[in-house]
């Protein structure tokens, strides 16, 4: 089976153009939700010295104007950090990696935080009041998304995680294509 690439949002529905004012005659198409998936493994040979600030790893590039719906992290093997705070942070990239023009480098999208161990299991992340604007519109240029594992204590053993970012492709300025009012 081959892969196909489509530039722009896929619009699905049964009525493309509004021709009346009742259900079945009003446009009901909408943009589909897509995902990007990446795997992250703590690099081999990392020192157990405290603290371990991690390695920044690019996990996705979201198209300009996209709206983020979910960030799902499936921790397959626990990230263990002795007795101090341990985190997995999903954040924006930096200027050298292709940061969106609307947000500062290392702006946190979401974070899993634990006292010592980020245990195996699934976490669905959601925005908070400081990053809701970023989730609503990633900006006017593509946005690189990174993952960082860090622990304030001794690094005991590394983990493995699969990360899924679900989003909808929109116009580069963040507007929907087409808008609800368009016939």
Condensed to tens digits (0 to 9), the pLDDT of residues 127-159 reads: 877 778 888 888 888 888 888 877 776 666 678
pLDDT of amino acid 49: 60
pLDDT value of residue 97: 53
Task: Supply the pLDDT for residue 166.
Answer: 93
Q: So what's the pLDDT on residue 85? A: 74
**Contact status, residue 120 vs residue 77, Cβ threshold 8 Å:** yes
Please say if the pLDDT value at position 123 is more than 80.
yes
More confidently predicted of 44 and 146:
146
Domain-by-domain residue ranges, the chain?
33-168
Q: Does domain 33-168 have CATH number 2.60.120?
A: yes
Scanning the structure block, which residue is given the tokens 């603290």?
51
Q: How far apart are the first and last CA of the chain?
A: 36
> DSSP string spanning the chain?
------SS--EE-S-SS--SSSTTTS---EEPEEEEEEEEEPPTT---PSPB----EEEEEEPTT-EEEEEEEEEEE-EE-TTS-EEEEEEE--GGG---TTS-TT-EEEEEEESSEE-SEEEEE---TTTHHHHH---SS-EEEEEEEEESS---B--EEEEEEEEE---TTS--SS-TT--
């Amino acid at each position: 089976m081959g892969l196909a690439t489509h530039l722009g949002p896929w619009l699905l529905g049964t009525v493309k153009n509004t021709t009346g004012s009742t259900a079945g005659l009003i446009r009901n198409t909408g943009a589909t939700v897509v995902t990007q998936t990446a795997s992250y493994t703590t690099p081999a040979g990392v020192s157990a010295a405290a603290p371990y600030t991690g390695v920044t790893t690019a996990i996705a590039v979201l198209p300009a104007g996209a709206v983020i719906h979910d960030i799902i992290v499936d921790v397959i093997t626990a990230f263990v950090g002795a007795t101090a705070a341990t985190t997995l942070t999903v954040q924006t990239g930096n200027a050298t990696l292709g940061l969106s023009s609307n947000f500062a480098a290392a702006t946190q999208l979401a974070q899993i935080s634990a006292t010592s161990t980020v245990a195996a299991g699934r976490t669905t992340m959601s925005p908070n009041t400081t990053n809701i604007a970023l989730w609503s519109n990633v900006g006017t240029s593509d946005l690189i998304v990174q993952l960082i594992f860090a622990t304030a204590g001794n690094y005991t053993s590394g983990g493995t995680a699969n990360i899924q970012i679900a989003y909808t492709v929109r116009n580069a300025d963040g507007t929907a294509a087409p808008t609800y009012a368009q016939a």
